[in-house]
């Protein structure tokens, strides 16, 4: 496959074969040299062949192989003539990250860190098939699916300020519970307020570097501040929605005569019945995920208050922002000199809207959207801000994390004979986990260097570095 380097951080896959648009990859030369990059590049080219795609098939520096679309892939389709594809969203619909700041500093937390991480591990359910203390009836679950984070706040899990600092206020209005299968509803009844497994985590961190004092202050971040980051999604409910949709859409794509380079790119016209049914079910899963993270943030606040014998006012655990990674959304964007409605697929990618955008809360209207980028559990995470250039080039999108460089199998093999938890403790990072293979699969070496990934998106100008967070303690599913 021909790859042209456009500048230090942009690479082009020129149109060829069935490609309707070129592929554009945001990366650096060093990241391109890592093993396993050929597969996602091929997927970038495959996505470029889909009907109604606009401008380019895009990929971020954290890209790696995924189902259909690469993880780290972004593609926008004309709302009237384009398609929607579950492979462009992923199985864990609205897998996302929320970051909260506190009034505490590292020196206050470090002496009680063991008590804190043990309490978080005990009180926030995690692991494969984990269930929480929020028990739903099917009738109440459907309210979660249509109301999202607002349902959780109405139940006492948080407040209006949390909704204001959540992407789309934590709710997609197009949710249609009638498009969801009975099996998906069953799986969602007992998993609200749970972390899940795999790469999902709860991390207690500390702000160890500020790059932009003014914007960091606007976000409520300061040096040595203790923070909490939650990474989770729609659990078994979202997985089932994706699985059900892929089954029906694969049959539809065949009957409709879509010329697809990969059957994993099964799709349907956005405005058709099949496409609308998927978007309605996907919105339900997105709202479930937002409610899930909202409940967990509330539980986290309660744990901190108990461990430090502190009231909510003195703890001041304020949500900085919640962003989603795996989603397809109807958005208004500029294309060829005019505004039009598009369906933006972000799979392992983060929305990064610029200063002045009407979708942002008032207190962030002058800064641009907070962009939360977790790294691996042994290095660092970053807070960035959205930029005007992201709106021009990437439909307001940037990377979502470090991105895997080793498969889970390869990571288990490389970690054999090692005590990953001890290695992390030697760096001052406490870790608690459930799954037997979790730490091996999520070892730091399984991921790209987060600093290099952030350097690529910052250097390309599609998001701006604001602060760096260092992990102190991590709960892994």
Secondary structure (DSSP) of 205-254: EEEEEES-HHHHHHHT--TTEEEEEEEE--HHHHHHHHHHHHHHHHHHHH
pTM: 0.97
- pLDDT at 381 (0 to 100): 98
**Residue 78 pLDDT > 90:** yes
- pLDDT at 279 (0 to 100): 98
Mean pLDDT of 450-465: 98
pLDDT tens digit sequence for 384-428: 999 999 999 999 999 999 999 999 999 999 999 899 999 999 999
pLDDT tens digit sequence for 284-314: 999 999 999 999 999 999 999 999 999 999 9
pLDDT tens digit sequence for 309-329: 999 999 999 999 999 999 999
Mean pLDDT of 27-47: 95
CA-CA distance, 176 to 184, in Å (whole number)?
A: 13
Calculate the alpha carbon distances from 72 to 282, 326, 350 in Å: 19, 10, 9
pLDDT band at 345 (very low <50, low <70, confident <90, very high): very high
- pLDDT at 130 (0 to 100): 85
Mean pLDDT of 90-101: 98
Is there a catalytic annotation at residue 335?
no
Q: Across-strand partners of 201?
A: 231, 476
Q: Is 224 left (phi over 0), alpha (psi -120 to 50) or beta?
A: left
Q: What is the mean pLDDT of the chain?
A: 96
CA-CA distance, 376 to 113, in Å (whole number)?
A: 20
Bridge-based pairing state of the strands 57-64 and 23-26: parallel
- pLDDT at 132 (0 to 100): 84
Close Cβ partners of 389 (under 8 Å, ≥ 6 residues apart): 460, 461, 462
pLDDT band at 133 (very low <50, low <70, confident <90, very high): confident
Pick the catalytic residue: 231, 252, 298, 400?
400
- pLDDT at 435 (0 to 100): 79
Phi and psi, residue 196, nearest 5°:
90, -160
**Residue 436 pLDDT > 80:** no
Mean pLDDT of 17-24: 97
3-class secondary structure, 58 = strand
**251: containing domain:** 4-476
Single out the residue of 296, 297, 240, 250 nearest to residue 92, CA to CA: 240
Q: What is the DSSP letter of 53?
A: B
CA-CA distance, 236 to 129, in Å (whole number)?
A: 8
Q: What percent of the chain has pLDDT over 90?
A: 94
Mean pLDDT of 456-462: 98
How many structural domains is the chain composed of?
A: 1
Single out the residue of 34, 3, 57 nearest to residue 262, CA to CA: 57
Q: Which helix (H) or strand (E) holds 450?
A: helix 450-460
- Between CA 82 and CA 84, with CA 83 as vertex, the angle to 5 degrees is 140
Mean pLDDT of 256-277: 95
Measured in Å, how far apart are the chain's first and last C-alpha atoms?
Answer: 38
pLDDT band at 131 (very low <50, low <70, confident <90, very high): confident
CA-CA distance, 419 to 11, in Å (whole number)?
A: 39
CA-CA distance, 318 to 297, in Å (whole number)?
A: 10
CA-CA distance, 260 to 86, in Å (whole number)?
A: 14
Q: What is the DSSP letter of 353?
A: P
**Residue 117 pLDDT > 80:** yes
CB under 8 Å, gap of 24 or more: what pairs does 353-360 form?
Answer: 353/386, 353/390, 353/391, 353/396, 354/386, 354/387, 354/388, 354/390, 354/391, 354/396, 355/386, 355/388, 357/386, 357/391, 357/396, 359/168
pLDDT tens digit sequence for 40-68: 999 999 999 999 999 999 999 999 999 99
3-class secondary structure, 349 = coil
CATH assignment of the domain containing 257: 3.90.1860.10
């Amino acid at each position: 496959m021909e790859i042209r380097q456009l500048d230090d951080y942009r690479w082009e896959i020129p149109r060829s074969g069935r490609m309707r648009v070129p592929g554009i990859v945001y990366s650096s030369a060093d990241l391109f040299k890592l093993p396993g990059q050929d597969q996602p590049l091929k997927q970038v080219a495959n996505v470029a062949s889909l009907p109604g795609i606009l401008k380019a098939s895009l990929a971020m520096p954290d890209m790696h192989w995924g189902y259909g679309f690469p993880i780290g892939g972004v593609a926008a389709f004309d709302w009237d003539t384009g398609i929607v594809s579950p492979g462009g969203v992923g199985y864990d619909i609205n897998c996302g990250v929320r970051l909260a700041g506190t009034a505490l500093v590292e020196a206050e937390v470090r002496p009680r860190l063991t008590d804190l991480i043990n309490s978080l591990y005990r009180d926030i359910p995690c692991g494969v098939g984990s269930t929480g203390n929020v028990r739903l009836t099917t009738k109440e679950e459907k309210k979660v699916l249509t109301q999202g984070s607002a349902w959780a706040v109405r139940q006492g899990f948080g407040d209006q300020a949390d909704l204001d600092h959540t992407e789309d206020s934590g709710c997609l209005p197009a949710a249609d519970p009638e498009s969801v299968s009975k099996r998906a509803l069953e799986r969602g009844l007992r998993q609200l307020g749970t972390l899940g497994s795999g790469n999902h985590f709860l991390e207690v961190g500390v702000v160890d570097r500020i790059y932009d004092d003014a914007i960091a202050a606007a976000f409520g971040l300061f040096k040595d501040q203790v923070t909490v980051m939650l990474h989770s999604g729609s659990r078994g409910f979202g997985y089932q929605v994706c699985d059900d949709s892929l089954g029906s859409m694969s049959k539809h794509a065949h009957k409709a005569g879509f010329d697809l380079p990969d059957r994993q790119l099964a799709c349907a016209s956005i405005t058709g019945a099949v496409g609308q049914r998927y978007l309605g079910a996907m919105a339900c899963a997105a709202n479930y995920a937002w409610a899930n993270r909202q409940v967990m943030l509330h539980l986290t606040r309660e744990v901190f208050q108990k461990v430090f014998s502190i009231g909510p006012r003195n703890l001041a655990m304020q949500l900085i922002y919640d962003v989603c990674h795996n989603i397809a959304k109807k958005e208004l964007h500029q294309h060829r000199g005019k505004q039009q409605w598009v369906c933006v697929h972000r799979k392992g990618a983060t929305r990064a809207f610029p200063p002045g955008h009407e979708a942002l809360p008032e207190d962030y209207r002058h800064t641009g959207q907070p962009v939360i980028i977790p790294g691996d559990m042994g290095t660092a995470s970053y807070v960035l801000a959205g930029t005007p250039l992201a709106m021009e080039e990437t439909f307001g999108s940037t990377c979502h994390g470090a991105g895997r460089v080793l498969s889970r199998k390869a990571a288990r093999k490389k970690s054999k004979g090692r005590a990953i938890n001890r290695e992390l403790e030697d760096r001052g990072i406490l870790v608690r986990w459930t799954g037997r293979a979790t730490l091996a699969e999520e070892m730091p070496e399984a991921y790209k260097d987060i600093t290099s990934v952030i350097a690529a998106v910052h250097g390309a100008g599609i998001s701006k570095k604001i602060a760096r967070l260092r992990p102190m303690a991590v709960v892994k599913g």
